[in-house]
């Protein structure tokens, strides 16, 4: 059986409705991810969460953001909205990755655990062979994490019903980019017959 990891990307209040960079559907995705993990934790040799955890990310923050390269302050380290979404309280991740302390940090592969170990090194130490990626937002940090996973040599799936883009248009662009790079896009329900 394939040793598979689930990477839960940036499911934080800062990216959900009412947060600094709230995405429509963020809270609902958090609830769906929590339900999926509760039902299917045994599919995964390892579950990791990532969080934007910005201390001083330089030009990533702006008072006049362009929402492409610069953004309003969000995911501020130690703030309530940078914590994991309350819906994930029972997920009990094996690994907690924090990213973007001093950079933009779009990809979970830019982050480290509490011992400053990179996500890729943790996955290799645990003999992980394939990745499922879920979280917020599909068009940004989920996409970058999935693409970096492919670049690092893993087979990567994005579970499309367990993520949400910033906008439908950006989601479509991201899905084309991911599919072109070899990321498999699949709904979680379709995994029932595939496993």
Q: What is the largest CA-CA distance in the chain?
A: 50
Write out the catalytic residue numbers. 10, 99, 141
pLDDT exceeds 60 at position 193: no
pLDDT tens digits, one per residue of 15-56: 999 999 999 999 999 999 999 999 999 999 999 999 999 999
Q: 136 near 161, Cβ under 8 Å?
A: no
Q: Which CATH architecture has domain 4-51+84-98+107-194?
A: 3-Layer(aba) Sandwich (3.40)
pLDDT tens digits, one per residue of 171-187: 999 999 999 999 999 99
Binned at pLDDT 50, 70 and 90, residue 83 comes out as: very high
Domain assignments of the chain as residue spans, ordered by start? 4-51+84-98+107-194
pLDDT tens digits, one per residue of 64-81: 999 989 999 999 999 999
Kindly state the average pLDDT of the residues 115-136: 98
Distance CA 125, CA 45 (A): 12
pLDDT of residue 99: 98
Provide the whole-model pTM: 0.96
pLDDT of residue 91: 95
pLDDT exceeds 70 at position 194: no
Q: Are strands 155-164 and 184-186 parallel, antiparallel or unpaired?
A: parallel
Binned at pLDDT 50, 70 and 90, residue 1 comes out as: confident
Closest CA to 37 of 8, 14, 13: 8
């Amino acid at each position: 059986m394939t040793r598979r990891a689930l990477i839960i990307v940036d499911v934080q209040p800062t990216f959900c409705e009412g947060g600094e960079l709230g995405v429509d559907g963020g809270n609902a995705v958090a609830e769906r991810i929590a339900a999926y993990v509760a039902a299917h934790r045994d599919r995964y040799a390892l579950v990791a969460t990532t969080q934007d955890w910005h201390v001083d990310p330089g030009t990533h923050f702006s008072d006049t953001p362009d929402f492409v390269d610069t953004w309003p302050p969000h995911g501020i380290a130690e703030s309530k909205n940078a914590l994991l979404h309350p819906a994930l309280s029972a997920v009990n991740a094996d690994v907690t990755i924090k990213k973007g302390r001093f950079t933009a940090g779009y990809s979970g592969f830019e982050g480290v655990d509490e011992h400053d170990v990179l996500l890729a090194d943790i996955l290799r130490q645990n003999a992980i062979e394939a990745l499922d990626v879920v979280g917020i937002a599909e068009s940004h940090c989920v996409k970058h994490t999935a693409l970096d996973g492919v670049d690092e040599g893993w087979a990567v799936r994005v579970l499309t019903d367990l993520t949400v883009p910033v906008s439908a248009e950006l989601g479509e662009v991201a899905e084309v980019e991911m599919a072109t790079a070899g990321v498999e896009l699949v709904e979680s329900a379709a995994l029932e017959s595939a496993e």
